[in-house]
Structure 1
């Protein structure tokens, strides 16, 4: 079953205009809206313990609180680094897509607004990594080559689907930690800014898919409904990189095996994917192959 856009609903141009007005009312400039000189607080985590991939395992229990805090710092650095590379892909795709669009359209203007938001998010993530004393987790050369090739493929419905896979899982994770009093204040502030602005981006991508799916050829719908499942193994790989565990003195490969069998990590993964899974079901874009990939990766 698919959800068609009803005649009474706003047009794509009207929807973009509404988001443009929202952007004027509530947007941030991280360079001035975050106190980058504020000291880090002692004995506070960078991610909630329950969201760390090793939480609840024997490895985690054997750590001191200081080691657990360091583990949370390295996992946050990994997440922020991934955010930077994904925003890079999205920005390239938006720019290439706009080359074929009407520069006077409200949809084009909102795409430009989103591009500006994402550029500021990249700056914010980079400054945060530096402020907390982290070292970015960089993709390898062959991975960077793939990243630079992806924007050539991301257009139309594929762009919206990829944007949702890249944004909604991080968004769901961030919403769980906005008001955690045991977190570093700078982390809470960064998450608050990102969630506020990302909500508009998610609305825009969801609206784009809702409008395009009903008229989509069957073969294209099948392709998109199953291609998005690649996100499952990708995220499992991303969240359990051995280098992150190596940085806190653990055996990276052994720690990765432990994390991937950790029921607490699976629970956090399912919670992060739940809103997006429900949306894919709603619009008819949860294919059998995709469902299997997400399930094997621990997200369903």
Structure 2
């Protein structure tokens, strides 16, 4: 069956057209509404000392006893290191997803809108990684990396993933960040470079999420029960490692907190759990609609507070 013959529906059940239709519209959107971070972000403007790195409500320690004991300066510094850790996790993941997309599009017809949008997305991701890296430089954030085991597992995934298994982890990472950054870009007490970079990322990633959903639905058209269950497990595993890698425990050390206590309080922080679930509502709805939120994988998502 050709791509052009497959129909899709949007999140409200309306006919969204074929994959070619969707990617053609996404190309038009990219041409009309894309940003150059070098122009749009006020990199040289001084960073106010009293502005957070992200909305305090999104901090891993907000609502804990430790948060109450911290000085305002420590809270501000923590949120800056947390957003830096999240951005650097984003850079690591964007480098991986670029390889996944390139491998998926290898030797496909360059005249197809699907191929052209895939390369457009890669160009977007390169700019996003550069702007996240520059944000960390301006905020004086040290390097944060996911655990070594996560890095090596991701190396295996990006080398072997095919079809929906390539686009699933991409969608998961983008969906989690989307809700957070929609808050950050409106936060009046958030540093301006985080607000600006969040706005750019939200606008451009909305196209990437539509593309990933369309690719996943297309791939699952031919998937049998066993493959669908295998993909459900891969999606859940990717979600587990992505969620756990977002904020490095080393941020607590670097802002002068007791690492063991901070990790423990963050792990049991009911406010953080609620915010995490909030950021995953649309993702869980999509996975359920695709038959990928199965009984066997539900405990994995629950273990990282995504449902």
Question: Would you say same fold, with TM above 0.5?
Answer: yes
Cα distance in 2 between the residues matched to 1:267 and 1:47: 17
Select the residue among 106, 127, 131 that pairs with 2:113: 106
Q: Does 1:18 align with 2:25?
A: yes
Select the residue among 58, 72, 81 that pairs with 1:51: 58
Select the residue among 172, 180, 203 that pairs with 2:210: 203
Structure 1 contact 241–252 (Cα < 8 Å) conserved: no
Deviation at 1:140, TM superposition (A): 5.5
Deviation at 1:35, TM superposition (A): 1.6
2:175 aligns to what? 168
Residue deviations 1:8-43, cap 9 Å, x none? 642211211110010000011112221210110121
Q: Does 1:61 align with 2:64?
A: no
Alignment of 1:81-230 (within 5 A): 81-139=88-146, 143-230=150-237
Residue deviations 1:125-157, cap 9 Å, x none? 000000111112034655544433322123211
1:245 aligns to what? 252
Cα distance in 2 between the residues matched to 1:168 and 1:185: 23
- Name stretches of at least 5 consecutive residues in structure 1 with no aligned partner: none
Q: Does 1:291 align with 2:294?
A: no
Cα distance in 1 between the residues matched to 2:282 and 2:15: 25
The Cα RMSD (Å) is 1.8
Cα distance in 1 between the residues matched to 2:15 and 2:187: 40
Structure 1 contact 231–294 (Cα < 8 Å) conserved: no
Cα distance in 1 between the residues matched to 2:145 and 2:219: 35
Structure 2 contact 89–246 (Cα < 8 Å) conserved: no
Q: Name the structure, 1 or 2, with higher relative contact order (CA <8 Å, separation 6+).
A: 1
Question: Between Structure 1 and Structure 2, how many residues are aligned?
Answer: 297
Select the residue among 37, 42, 45 that pairs with 2:49: 42
Cα distance in 2 between the residues matched to 1:34 and 1:107: 30
2:265 aligns to what? 258
1:31 aligns to what? 38
Cα distance in 1 between the residues matched to 2:239 and 2:157: 17
- Name stretches of at least 5 consecutive residues in structure 2 with no aligned partner: 1-6
Cα distance in 2 between the residues matched to 1:172 and 1:163: 15
Deviation at 1:220, TM superposition (A): 0.8
Structure 2 contact 54–79 (Cα < 8 Å) conserved: yes
Normalising by structure 1, we get a TM-score of 0.93
Residue deviations 1:216-269, cap 9 Å, x none? 111111111222112443244224532111111112122111101010110111
